Amino acid sequence: MQPSPPPRWVVLKYGGTSVASRARWEKIAERVAACIEEGLRPVVVCSAVSGISDRLDALPAAALKGEAEAPLAAILERHRRHAADLGVDPGLVADDLDRLSRLVKGIELVGETSPRVHARVMAFGEILSTRLGAAFLRGRGLDAGWVDTRECLDALPDPDPRRAFLQAHCGHGLDPALGERLDGVGRAVVAQGFIARDADGQTVLLGRGGSDTAAALFAARLGAERCEIWTDVPGMFTADPRRLPDARLLRRLDYDEAQEIASTGAKVLHPRCIPPVRAHRIPLWIRWTERPEVEGTVVGSRVDDAPRVRAISTRTGQYLVSMDTPGMWQQVGFLADVFAVFKRYGLSIDLVSTSEMNVTVSIDPAGNAFDAERFAALSDALAPHCQTKLIGPCAVVSLVGRHIRAILHRLGPALTAFEEHRVHLLSQAASDLNLSVVVDEDQAPRLVRNLHWLLFQEAARDPAFGPSWLALSDVGEQTAEVEGITPWWHAERERLIALAAELSPRYVYHGPSVDAAAARLTALSSVDRVFYAMKANPEPRLLQRIERAGLGFECVSPAEIDRVKAACPDIAPDRILFTPNFAPREEYVAGFEAGAWVTLDNLHPLEHWPDVFRGRDVMVRIDPGKGRGHHDHVKTAGARSKFGVSFDQIDRLKALAAQHDVTVVGLHAHSGSGIRTAAQWAEVAERLVEAAQRFPTVRHLDVGGGLAVAEKPGRAGVDLDAVDATLAAFKAKHPRYALWIEPGRYLVAEAGVLLARVTQLKKKGPVRYVGVDAGMNSLIRPALYGAYHAIVNLDRLGDAPTMVANVVGPICESGDTLGYNRDLPETREGDTLLVATAGAYGRSMASHYNLRQPALETVID
């Protein structure tokens, strides 16, 4: 009798978001069934449910403080709900949850923890998710068995106990015994990522991103036909697609290129998962859990040796240590001596640059415990050898590809992107796989955008590059829908085309959309007053609608106050908030005369014009210390921002207020624009409470605006219900304060579009241009912030894209571009293009540059 052929294994890895709901597990079940149908034996390697690893990571520290009860209860409840969602018995994880509870209680009782205990706590995330997942697959009729990864993967010895337990490494040699063991578990096997065991049988972790690594180890040891990484994007891209929607899918990479992209900042794939599959020449597929039919990235042996840049990667939060001394000149062993100091302090060096009298190295805090205290100790230890200086935070921007030295001459135009940026360090890898530069962190986003356009404007014509993230998203640019919501302008298409035929360019604002946004804001139970930041759009008819909805107005100039009073003559003065910045004396006088709430943004007015404020009630703008937003120019907090009184000035503010009989009745803060983190405003409120404790007369806390809107396809705006919930929790804790907010874009951005007619079409080499009659004099946000606005052809709405083009205006500036690399249907002269989400900071920031009339405004119902 012929022996049975050996099993053909395939490893499927699913991350935290991919195992967090029944809908995702349905897709996993479909994939497992498809692999079995193909004659393969799937090993399903799963992470913990999304968010659980972070909670488990914080548990030991909470236990040491006696504060673990609430977070532990949240973890237990999350898995009970998850079991209910999957329709499986929650009793399957009862013993594991009980063991976790006892372990955490032990930490609390003993009053200490260790890397060994921390690893045991963290392992429960994967154990819990896989027990429930295996039961779900069995409930779907699949022969799925559960296996403990700690009985399959053995860690290599490591003398450092922290690394040994929290950053363990495993061998990846072929292991026939593992295949024989798994062969009896089930047709499909469900195992955990992230964990392994040491020689003593103790639980160890493979480090964050360790589920990718565990999957690759299973594939290598089983000699699998392939390893599939299923995640929340289709694959690896030419840049981070979440930040650069026109980034292109990389269809195929060799192992070296993929590892370099992952090592230099891409989050899709962990760098440590490449060596095991490379050693056995196992193909690695990266696929999209949500849409398995979409093509992904295949990582394998080299098939294309042509010199080219494949991607731009970024790592932020980096620090440089610069070491100066004339003593290193021709000194034998200098580098060995200073690097030994870094080793003594457990610091891993990334990039290195040397000159005659300086060595500069980069430190990645993601892999190092690095802070001011650690640097001070390092600097003292290096003092006998050199003088040190810390530079940061910085960003490392890397051009990743193959044979980069061979195409340096072709990179010339792209390198001009560095002209406006301070470059602290430049490194060209000996492997010829990357060219990295270190710049100030706040310069990285703009630099990446410029480099991407210069390097990949021809990507649409290169078969090595797949579709853009926009084209792959569930909702493409031609529909610009988010979460199934069709924009208002779809229903008004014919009317908008007619309006553009009458007059173009033209802003059109949809009144009912403004009303709807205002209604959502006034429905917030936690907010006492809403002030519209009218600098976003001061169109009088919109102001009237907003005033009728019960909102007040935040004004930043006397002219804005006058505009509000002219449009809304019956408005009460206390519905006007005046927040000038670096304004002259007379503007504060005008604000008080108008009866508005007047906000101090600086100590200078109190120090030099006390008579203006004597006996007055004032608001004070506080700098919360950290800005947020979609671009550095819209972050309005932190030392690099010109706004607000910093915390170290509060004592001086209190003294000046007492000296000049000024009553501080409210505090105000604003962190930035386009913020999606729901807890942001509650965090700002807590920060304001810290300052308010110095001023017992404070009654109002204004937490600012910045509520993000859905400006990019496939990317939703801020969750307003979640914002309300976090602010309600704050108010329950601090009932004495009234909460104010002051959104601008949220009210009007989605209600406005810019209509433009196509004037000319042009092709230069591989680059196509669509010229329109609206330029940066009408909408400057793309040029100023690199802001993204969806652009559609209204005349051919819904048609499939057939061209990739830059949409440009008539202004005599290279930056006069409304959108780069946009997927459009075949477009002709006279077509009407619509620029979406343009109701905020469009006409209000317009100019007559080139003596061209900016787009006029129309309001429709």
pLDDT at position 326 is 76
Asked if pLDDT for residue 122 goes beyond 80, the answer is yes
The percentage of residues in the chain with a pLDDT greater than 90, rounded to a whole number, is 64
Sort strands 663-668 and 803-808 into parallel, antiparallel or unpaired.
unpaired
- Mean pLDDT across 305-327: 86
The Cα 135–Cα 25 span in angstroms is: 11
Q: Are 286 and 234 in contact (CB under 8 A)?
A: yes
pLDDT at position 461 is 61
Asked if pLDDT for residue 462 goes beyond 90, the answer is no
Closest C-alpha among 1, 39, 6 to residue 182: 6
What is the tens place of the pLDDT at every residue in 252-287? 999 999 999 988 888 888 889 999 999 999 999 999
pLDDT at position 126 is 96
- Mean pLDDT across 719-727: 90
Distance of CA 687 to the CA centre of its chain: 23
Q: Are 84 and 127 in contact (CB under 8 A)?
A: no
pLDDT band at 757 (very low <50, low <70, confident <90, very high): very high
What is the tens place of the pLDDT at every residue in 677-690? 788 898 999 999 99
Asked if pLDDT for residue 247 goes beyond 80, the answer is yes
Neighbouring-strand partners of residue 857? 507
**Amino acid letter, residue 335:** L
pLDDT band at 470 (very low <50, low <70, confident <90, very high): confident
- Mean pLDDT across 533-540: 97
Structure-block tokens of residue 382:
């290096």
The Cα 192–Cα 150 span in angstroms is: 9
Closest C-alpha among 219, 218, 297, 296 to residue 253: 297
Q: What angle do CA 477, 482, 488 make, to 5 degrees?
A: 85
pLDDT at position 329 is 64
pLDDT at position 577 is 97
The Cα 740–Cα 730 span in angstroms is: 13
Least confident piece of the model among 188-192, 461-465, 819-823: 461-465
Asked if pLDDT for residue 2 goes beyond 80, the answer is no
- Which segments within 541-606 are labelled E, that is strand? 552-555, 576-578, 597-600
Q: What angle do CA 130, 131, 136 make, to 5 degrees?
A: 90
**Is pLDDT larger for residue 246 or for residue 113?**
113
What is the tens place of the pLDDT at every residue in 128-143? 999 999 999 999 999 9
Q: Which residues are catalytic?
A: 812
The Cα 147–Cα 189 span in angstroms is: 7
What is the tens place of the pLDDT at every residue in 759-798? 999 998 778 999 999 999 999 998 887 788 999 999 999 8
The Cα 536–Cα 705 span in angstroms is: 11
Mean pLDDT (the chain) is 89
**Is pLDDT larger for residue 77 or for residue 375?**
77
The Cα 527–Cα 721 span in angstroms is: 12
Asked if pLDDT for residue 484 goes beyond 60, the answer is no
Q: Are 131 and 92 in contact (CB under 8 A)?
A: yes
The Cα 18–Cα 122 span in angstroms is: 19
The Cα 780–Cα 789 span in angstroms is: 11
Least confident piece of the model among 58-67, 217-226, 674-683: 674-683
pLDDT at position 235 is 93
Closest C-alpha among 789, 700, 692, 795 to residue 739: 700
Write out 221-242 in H/E/C secondary structure.
HHCCCEEEEEECCCCCECCCCC
- Mean pLDDT across 703-722: 81
The Cα 244–Cα 712 span in angstroms is: 10
Closest C-alpha among 371, 740, 384, 365 to residue 579: 740
- Mean pLDDT across 325-344: 82
pLDDT at position 268 is 85
Closest C-alpha among 351, 363, 419, 435 to residue 392: 363
Neighbouring-strand partners of residue 738? 700
The Cα 266–Cα 365 span in angstroms is: 16
Q: Are 328 and 506 in contact (CB under 8 A)?
A: no
